[in-house]
Structure formats: C-alpha cells, structure tokens
Amino acid sequence: MSGTSLSPSVLVADDGPGTVVRIHGRHIGDRIYHGAITFFALCVPILVALIAWEIAVAGWPTFRHFGLSFLTSSDWDPVKEKFGAAPAIYGTLVSSAIALVIATPLAVGVSVFLSEFAPRWMRQPVAFLVDLLAAIPSVVYGLWGIFVLLPLMRDPVMPFLRDTLHLGTTPFFTGPAYGPSMLAAGLILAIMVLPYIASVSREVLLAVPRAQREAALALGATRWEAIWRAVLPYAKSGIVGGVILGLGRALGETMAVTMLIGNRQQISASLFAPGYTMASLIANEFTEATSDAHLSALMAVGFTLLVITIIVNAIARWLVWRVGGGAASRPL
C-alpha cells in the first residue's frame, strides 16, 4: 500500500517500562492504516457501551418502580407484575462458584499432567479431547444432563452425599433428591468451563522456562516440590486468568443451566434444591413477555447481569494483579 517513493519513517522507542513503539509515517497508507485500526479498536468499547446503555434505558422503569427491592426481593410474579430478582442473582453466583470450585483443580491437574508428566505421544490427543469439550453445543450438554446426569444425581450421587457421607447434617445437602438442582447446574457448568481453564493453564505451564524446573531440581527438590514450589507459582497469574475466562463463561451460560437447575424462584441454602439464574430467567420468559412492565423487568435483569459480570471480572483482575506480585508485575 506504499506510494511510489519511500520517504523515511522514524521509529521512536519510548524508554518507559512498557515498550511502546510509535511509527511516525507521512505515507497516506500509514495514516489510513492508523485510522483504520484506531476505528476498529474503538468499535468494541463503543459497542459494549451502547449495549449497556440500551439495556439500562429499557430496564430503567423497573429500577425506578421497584428500587433496591428489585435486587433483594424473591417475589417474581409476571401475572401480578411484581418483580424481584434476588433468587436469580443468587443462583447465578452460586452455580458459577460451584463450577469453579470443581473445575479449577481438575483443569489445573489436567494441564500439569499434560505439561509435566504425559509422554509426548499422549499430549496432543488428550489436549485435543479436552479442547473438544468447548466445542460441544450447550443444548447438547443440557440434554446429556437431563438423560444421564440427573438420573445419576438422583441415585446414587445425592443420597451418597446426604446419607452415606452424612453431609445431610449440614444445611447444604438436605432435602429430597429430585435431580434438577443448583448442584446439577454447577456440575454441568464445571464440565463446560473446564476446557477454558485447562487450555489456558496448559499454555501458561508450557511457557514456564526450563531453567525454573531445572533450578528447583538441582537444589534437590522432588518432582512434586519442583512443580508446586517453582512451576505453579511462576504460572499463577496465567492460571487465574484462565479461571476468569471460565467464570465469564459460567456466569452467562444459559441453555444447559436452564435444563438442569429446576427454574424455581427461591433462595435455598441446600444445593439439592432447585434455583434460577439470570440468564435462564431471560431466556425462559423473553419470547412471550408482552407487557411493558415484564419486558422492562427482564431488561433490568439483563443489566444487572452485565453489571455483576463487570464487578466479578474486576475483582478477578485485581486477584490476578495480587497473585502476580502486586505492582511489580503487570496483569495479563
């Protein structure tokens, strides 16, 4: 795209901590290029801002009418046009938390195995199969959940947790074992976010310099110690980044969760009880919502979900920054 003559362009390297390289070119091509990529870069944030604005405007009547009780009330009654989203907010956070608690150790275990222990011939096929989990459509997970996971939950998983392990004495594993529950939704989410966390962790672990391992081993560390003390801390911030990616996926997942969570507007300490999530609430009711109040309430749920996602992500970023050693190193 250059002109006929090659005029000199100057490369100026800033000497700050980041290495920002500016290219001062007088070519028309350079300027077009510069304008184009600036435009593309701005497109995404503008799009996000516009979406947020539109949802906020549509949901505003609900926020104004119900105020804070929209976030704290458990009463969701489209017939009487009373809307409280507390169970959905609670369900979204709890199901995602369950997913991360289950998926993170599994995913890190998989990636440690693949990067440190697995024989060479095994790495690619196993990594490929784990990544393949991410390619399965969520409705397929949902159907698998209904026909395989739920019967397994009903018998033997839930009775085992409740009676054999005597976890029924805690408030978290009580009540009848019907199957559709917060626990089932958390489990399916765990499977769905696992490939995201595993994939990122594996790449990060593979990027850990050999010297890091060799140094630890040379000092007399066992293999376990080398991985636990030298390799994982080095990769920590990258792994947390993978967990954030998984969390984003878990918060917004709709179809599979709807099919397994039991869709009940209630807050219950027991993970055996059915619940609701914000995404499934919108998906379930939006198509047939005709009254303005109902539509606005669903938009308000959407806006709340957006805000919660931003907050959770901000917290997670801060965590990455913290585990990455504070100001000394920069977040991913």
Partner 1 sequence: MTLRRTMPIALLAAAAAVACGGGSSGHTVSGDKANAPAASGGVDLTGAGATFPYPIYSKWFADYAQETSVRINYQSIGSGGGIRQLSEGTVDFGASDAPMSDDELAKAKGPVLHFPTVIGAVAVTYNLPSLSTPIRLTSDVIADIFLGHITKWNDSRIRAANPGIALPATDVLVVHRADASGTTYIFSDYLSAVSADWAKAPGKGKELSWPVGIGAKGNEGVAGQVKQTPGAIGYVELAYAKQNNLPTALLKNASGAFVAPSIESATAAAAGIADKLPNNTDYRISIVNAPGADAYPIASFTWLLVYRNQTDATKAKKLKDFLHWYLHSGESTAASLEYAPLPEVMKTRLDARVDSLITGSTT
Interface residues with partner 1 (CB under 8 A) are 75-80, 142, 146-147, 150-151, 154, 176, 178-180, 258-259, 262-265, 274, 280, 283-291
The distance of closest approach from Cβ of residue 225 to partner 1 in the complex, given in angstroms and rounded to an integer, is 48
27 versus 264: smaller Cβ distance to partner 1: 264
Q: 73 φ, ψ to 5°?
A: -80, 145
The distance of closest approach from Cβ of residue 290 to partner 1 in the complex, given in angstroms and rounded to an integer, is 4
Q: 10 Å Cβ neighbour count for 79?
A: 7
Q: Which of 228, 191, 179 is nearest to 208 (CA)?
A: 228
Q: Which long-range contacts (CB under 8 A, 24 or more apart) does 20-27 make?
A: 27/2, 27/3
Mention every residue, 6+ apart, whose C-beta is less than 8 A from residue 105: none
The distance of closest approach from Cβ of residue 142 to partner 1 in the complex, given in angstroms and rounded to an integer, is 8
**Which residues are registered as beta bridge partners of 158?**
none
Angle between helices 232-252 and 182-206 (to 10 degrees): 140
284 versus 313: smaller Cβ distance to partner 1: 284
Query: Ramachandran region of residue 134, left (φ > 0), alpha (ψ -120 to 50) or beta?
Result: alpha
198 versus 273: smaller Cβ distance to partner 1: 273
The distance of closest approach from Cβ of residue 76 to partner 1 in the complex, given in angstroms and rounded to an integer, is 6
87 versus 324: smaller Cβ distance to partner 1: 87
97 versus 143: smaller Cβ distance to partner 1: 143
Amino acid identity of residue 53, one-letter, is W
The distance of closest approach from Cβ of residue 135 to partner 1 in the complex, given in angstroms and rounded to an integer, is 22
The distance of closest approach from Cβ of residue 270 to partner 1 in the complex, given in angstroms and rounded to an integer, is 13
The distance of closest approach from Cβ of residue 284 to partner 1 in the complex, given in angstroms and rounded to an integer, is 4
231 versus 259: smaller Cβ distance to partner 1: 259
Distance from CA of residue 147 to its chain's centroid?
25
Cα–Cα distances (Å) from 157 to 45, 180, 264, in that order, read 45, 13, 21
* Rounded-to-10 torsion of CA 222, 105, 148, 181: 150
The distance of closest approach from Cβ of residue 168 to partner 1 in the complex, given in angstroms and rounded to an integer, is 17
99 versus 184: smaller Cβ distance to partner 1: 184
106 versus 283: smaller Cβ distance to partner 1: 283
**Which residues are registered as beta bridge partners of 77?**
82
Q: 10 Å Cβ neighbour count for 73?
A: 15
158 versus 226: smaller Cβ distance to partner 1: 158
The distance of closest approach from Cβ of residue 167 to partner 1 in the complex, given in angstroms and rounded to an integer, is 21
Structure-token pair, residue 129: 């199969």
Residues shown for the chain: 332
Rounded distance, CA 182 to CA 166, Å? 19
For residue 10, the surrounding DSSP H or E stretch is strand 10-13
